Amino acid sequence: MAKSKNETSAKSVNPIVKYLRETRAEIAKVTWPTRQEWIRLSGIVIAVTLIMALILGVTDAIAAQIMNFILY
């Protein structure tokens, strides 16, 4: 029994092309943030990053002083 044209063409689709089509379909479903939301959320990320950098820097400086005190 011969295969129908739809069965043959569906199986012969390049996997990369299929992946790109599916990715494009999924991206179309995404609810993107507004400019105002994007700016607010970016500000939060930057603030948390700076706070964590400060905490880690202070912790590192204290640990270095303790190690200097112990070793020397």
Higher pLDDT, 6 or 64: 64
For every residue of 3-70, DSSP letters joined together read: PPHHHHHHHTS-HHHHHHHHHHHHHHH--PPPHHHHHHHHHHHHHHHHHHHHHHHHHHHHHHHHHHHH
Q: Over 70: is that where the pLDDT of 54 sits? A: yes
- Residue 50: predicted pLDDT: 98
Please tell me whether the overall predicted TM-score, pTM, comes out greater than 0.85 for this model: no
Domain boundaries, the chain: 33-72
- pLDDT, one tens digit per residue, over 1-39 is 555 555 555 567 899 999 999 999 999 999 999 999 999
- Residue 72: predicted pLDDT: 86
- Residue 9: predicted pLDDT: 56
